[in-house]
């Protein structure tokens, strides 16, 4: 079983579509859960007017019968309410920091509209829908996810709670920050940027709990799960850096302070670490601890007070094009990162445990867990 997916659709096109292959048969899909995940993506202090227009809901076009997967490719359909791509004007002034100019040069395209419609982060709605479907599969194996914001601009969150409490607090926060005081300051920072006609970025963290040891491999470069997770998160528009565990901080200390000592619990018959500096992955393989990922997101590149640019037709100085945009999308980017991370973990689960049906995959998984306990 090998999970793969494609997305299609433009920001102001008729719809967004995902085709997912490799989901085993017999999985009961939770459409309400998928729609809830789509709503999570649309929330967060600093989102723009587009989120008030769209009411993202999933429609399943193939791959299921009577609410259960068939093992064949699944097609997910999200209708765009703001469907006006044919009526939108041409654009010749690229925005610094966006795919506008690089895409126009790549495709030899004199109308930047034909670049930004697909380069838009609107595409990530398809990935959240796909990730939600995959989370439904991973929940069958006790794997859960959360994301929370740890920095907006210079404002940092300094509090850490148990997984369940963090998940609850993140969902209640306007910026998905578990530190109430920091969340208030983050909202102020976003509002200041809005009043200045500017934008603001930040850092979010994703935690995956319940992932078994042994996913991924060191045997080939493209089998290393940390590499695949980093690639997936870097593919989210606006992400400029990814770290796992303590990330860049480990470069500042000696090995004795960085590496997680190994212990064995005789009652539970399992190895464990008291610290998780490695972020749940060693040698490209999960070690049974929580997977901890962090990503840095740049400020949105569309500014209400635009930066200088050049008209690609006349080659004269101009101001960058102003498009309807957000002020800050760090909170929703954490939700997107959960989704693409879930897809990579599900892919590794499929490679490890195989199975054309959910029942077969569960049998393989349970046999492996039994093997770990007798190691």
pLDDT (tens place) for every residue of the chain, 375 residues total: 789 999 999 999 999 999 999 999 999 999 999 999 999 999 999 887 666 667 899 999 999 999 999 999 999 999 999 899 999 999 999 999 999 999 999 999 999 999 999 999 999 999 999 999 999 999 999 999 999 999 999 999 988 899 999 999 999 999 999 999 999 999 999 999 999 999 999 999 999 999 999 999 999 999 999 999 999 999 999 999 999 999 999 999 999 999 999 999 999 889 999 999 999 999 999 999 999 999 999 999 999 999 999 999 999 999 998 887 799 999 999 999 999 999 999 999 999 999 999 999 999 999 999 999 888
pLDDT for the residue numbered 324: 73
With CA atoms as reference, report the closest residue to 331 among 180, 192, 205.
205
Q: Which residues contact 323 (CB under 8 A, 6 or more apart)?
A: 95, 116, 302
Q: What is the CATH number of the domain that holds 20?
A: 3.60.150.10
3-state helix, strand and coil shares in percent for the chain, rounded to the nearest 5: 40, 20, 40
pLDDT for the residue numbered 325: 78
- Residue 300: give the domain boundaries: 4-373
pLDDT for the residue numbered 54: 74
Give the number of other Cβ atoms within 10 Å of residue 372's Cβ.
14
Residue with token string 């991924």:
216
pLDDT for the residue numbered 51: 61
Q: Which helix (H) or strand (E) covers residue 5, if one does?
A: strand 4-8
Residue 237 backbone phi and psi in degrees, to 5: -55, 135
Q: Which residues contact 125 (CB under 8 A, 6 or more apart)?
A: 16, 38, 41, 56, 78
Domain total in the chain: 1
Give the number of other Cβ atoms within 10 Å of residue 56's Cβ.
22
The answer to whether the CB of 372 falls within 8 A of the CB of 213 is yes
pLDDT for the residue numbered 280: 98
């Amino acid at each position: 079983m090998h999970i793969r997916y494609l997305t299609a659709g433009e920001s102001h096109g008729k719809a967004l579509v995902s085709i997912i292959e490799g989901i085993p048969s017999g999985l009961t899909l939770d459409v309400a859960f998928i729609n809830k995940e789509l709503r999570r993506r649309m929330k967060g202090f600093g989102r723009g007017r587009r989120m008030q227009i769209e009411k993202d809901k999933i429609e399943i076009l193939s791959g299921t019968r009577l609410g259960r997967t068939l093992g064949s490719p699944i097609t997910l359909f999200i209708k765009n309410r703001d469907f006006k791509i044919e009526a939108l004007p041409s654009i010749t002034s690229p925005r610094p920091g966006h795919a506008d100019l690089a895409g126009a040069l790549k495709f030899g395209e004199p109308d930047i509209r034909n670049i930004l419609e697909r380069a838009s982060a609107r595409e990530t709605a398809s990935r959240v829908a796909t990730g939600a479907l995959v989370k439904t599969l991973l929940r069958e194996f006790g794997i859960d996810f959360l994301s929370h914001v740890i920095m907006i601009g210079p404002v940092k969150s300094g509090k850490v709670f148990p997984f369940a409490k963090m998940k609850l607090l993140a969902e209640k926060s306007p910026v998905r920050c578990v530190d109430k005081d920091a969340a208030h300051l983050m909202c102020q920072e976003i509002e200041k940027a809005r009043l200045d006609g500017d934008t603001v970025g930040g850092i979010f963290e994703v935690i995956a709990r319940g992932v078994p040891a042994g996913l991924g491999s060191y045997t080939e470069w493209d089998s290393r799960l940390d590499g695949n997770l980093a690639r997936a998160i870097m593919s989210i528009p606006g992400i400029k850096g990814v770290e796992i565990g303590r990330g860049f901080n480990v470069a500042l200390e000696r090995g004795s302070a960085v590496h997680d000592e190994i212990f064995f619990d005789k009652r539970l018959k399992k190895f464990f670490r008291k610290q998780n500096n490695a972020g749940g992955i060693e040698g490209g393989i999960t070690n049974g601890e929580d997977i901890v990922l962090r990503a840095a997101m740049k400020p949105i590149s569309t500014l209400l007070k635009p930066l200088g640019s050049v008209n690609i037709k006349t080659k004269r100085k101009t101001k960058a094009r102003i498009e309807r945009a957000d002020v800050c999308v760090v909170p929703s980017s954490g939700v997107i990162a959960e989704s693409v991370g879930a897809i990579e973990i599900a892919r590794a689960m499929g490679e490890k445990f195989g199975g054309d049906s959910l029942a077969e995959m569960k049998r393989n998984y349970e046999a492996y867990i039994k093997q770990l306990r007798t190691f």
